[in-house]
Structure 1
Amino acid sequence: MSNTIKQLALAWAAALALGTGADAASLKIATLAPEGSSWMREMRAAGDAVKTATEGRVELKFFPGGVMGNGETVLRKIKLGQLNGGAFAASELTPVNPDVAVYGLPFQFSDLNQVRSARAKLDPQIK
Structure 2
Amino acid sequence: MNDSNAYPQEDGVAAGGARLAAQYKFSQDELRVLKECNTESFYQRSLPLGTTFGLAAFFGVQGGHLKPNPRFGAFPKVTLAVIVGYFLGKLSYQQACAEKLMALPGSYIGQLLRDKKEGRFGYV
Provide TM-score, normalisation by structure 2.
0.25
Whichever of the two has the greater Rg, that structure is 2
Between structures 1 and 2, the one with greater helix share: 2
With normalisation by structure 1, the TM-score equals 0.24
Which structure's residues are more often strand, by fraction?
Answer: 1
